[in-house]
Structure 1
């Protein structure tokens, strides 16, 4: 992500790699003293949420690995029980 902004009318446009992405011309979701500060606050929020999403994805991958590991342990216990002549 390469986020920048330009002022336009009474608002701003956030661009991602130079391409218009968010157009805030009547509503400014992060009001600050200046429109420039508002645009930068909006960009900061987008970056923070993108980083949170990456962390969440890592957490999901870790949980999937834990589930797989637990399933392998359960399978090994079941196999050992069956090999000893036990039943389920």
Structure 2
């Protein structure tokens, strides 16, 4: 007739902020305890979702394209300078030949 409530109930957390900070300071003094704490925290970190990895790869590719575009612009400027120099040398040679 009555269904059991299946929503989880929160447990009371009786530590004060000061007590938590004291415990962390104590843990920091012991290397083994500190490493255990870091391992526990690493286990609790959310995994990076695949879509975020794809975005990161896209951004890396965009950066590479931007660098390549800058390199090409520099090469175009050098080619323009060479073209200008060649035309100047051509005029000088034509004057010498005629």
> Which band: TM-score by shorter chain?
0.5 to 0.7
Residue of structure 2 in register with 1:50 after alignment = 62
- Write out the 4+ residue segments of structure 1 that deviate beyond 4 Å after TM superposition: none
Cα deviations across residues 23-73 of structure 1 (Å, max 9, x unaligned)? xxxxxxxxxxx4x43222111101001111111111111111111011111
Query: Structure 1: which 5+ runs fail to align?
Result: 1-33
1 or 2 for the larger relative contact order (CA 8 Å, sep ≥6)? 1
Which structure: larger Rg?
A: 2
Report the count of equivalent residues: 53
Aligned partners of 1:69 and 1:51: how far apart in 2? 27
Which structure has the highest strand share of the two?
A: 1
